[in-house]
Amino acid sequence: MSELWVERHRPRSVSEMKGQRAVVDRLLAYSKTKTFPHLMFAGPPGTGKTTAALALARDVFGEGYRSNLLEMNASDERKLESIRTKVKQFARTAPMPGSSFKVIFLDEADALTPDAQGALRRIMEQYAETCRFILSCNYSSKIVEAIQSRCAVFRFRPLETQKVMETVVQVAENEGLRLEKDAASAIANVSLGDLRKAITSLQVAASLDLHVTRDLVYETTATAPPEDLHGFFLACKEDGFQPARRRMRGIMDRFGLAGTDLVNQLHRELGNVPFLDESKKLVITEIMAECDFRMVEGGGESLQLDSMAAKICELLGI
């Protein structure tokens, strides 16, 4: 259901995209000339890569763009055979009348095997006149240099908090939801610049109550509010080990957090704790890193978290 929400509110043109100003300005030039080279969109999830590819195709070909577009998820069809058959077969056919080229959009292209990327490089070279490729990936370093050198590379960044909030408010209005201002801020805080995650968080909260509040957002996203995380550090500083341990357990029980989730959220919020100086934040980061490593390696969660709390209490003077 969340994908339907995302699709319903997806921009239909490059000019409608929010954020990614540097990327949008370059893509608008291609929209006006109705042509473009091979493209590579690289960046974190939920930052508009797929939206940009589909919007650009719509701007170039019009409403019937689907007849000139092959959209594939490369993580599902990542083997050499898929590239040799499906992609090559589409690339070698002539474009629709009125168009000078076709477009193949490979989503999550960094999942392609090295052999498949080798075959793709050759196809991009052979059919460059009548076929353009748009590759999207989270990690451009996983794409071979021979393909990268054939593409104009676009770097997508996590969306700014203000842009995420504006979009979430707009979606809430279109869906008839009552969204409190601090709830929109909480969604932006939870999403970390991932707009797809932000819209999904809004939908999950709205499925319980059409009046979306800040507390509801944090409860439905399994995320502890910043003040609760600050409270843990304050308890370590002023109250000692047992009160800090109880507060830590209370956060985990209330929001349903696993040990690694708690450590990640504490680490994310550490930089915003006002009563800790930089030197202590450095040492606490090392303590949390060791705790996270030990839990990932199979150490007992309860014991490792207690050890982390004890070390932080010792550092802060109790």
Does the pLDDT value for residue 16 go beyond 90?
Answer: no
Instruction: Read off the CATH number of the domain in which 191 is found.
Output: 1.10.8.60
Whether residues 79 and 139 share a domain: the answer is yes
Distant-in-sequence contacts of 86-89, Cβ < 8 A, 24+ apart: 87/120, 87/123, 88/119, 88/123
Q: Which domain holds residue 287?
A: 226-316
Instruction: Read off the CATH number of the domain in which 234 is found.
Output: 1.20.272.10
Q: What is the DSSP string of 61-72?
A: H-TTGGGGEEEE
End-to-end CA distance of the chain: 49
Residue 134 dihedral angles phi and psi, to the nearest 5° = -120, 115
pLDDT tens string 193-249? 888 899 889 989 998 888 999 999 998 888 899 999 999 999 998 888 999 999 999
**Tokens matching residue 97:** 């009348």
> 158 with 190: CB under 8 angstroms?
no
Whether residues 187 and 299 share a domain: the answer is no
Give CA–CA dist 286/72, Å, rounded: 42
Instruction: Please compute the mean of the pLDDT values over residues 30-50 and round it to a whole number.
Output: 88
pLDDT tens string 160-178? 888 889 889 988 988 888 9
The count of residues in the chain is: 318
| Per-residue confidence (pLDDT) for residue 317, from 0 to 100 | 72
pTM attached to this predicted model: 0.80
Does the pLDDT value for residue 3 go beyond 70?
Answer: no
pLDDT tens string 48-98? 888 889 889 888 888 888 888 888 876 666 666 667 777 888 888 887 887
**Tokens matching residue 124:** 């991009």
Indicate the pLDDT class of residue 286, thresholds 50, 70 and 90. Answer: very high
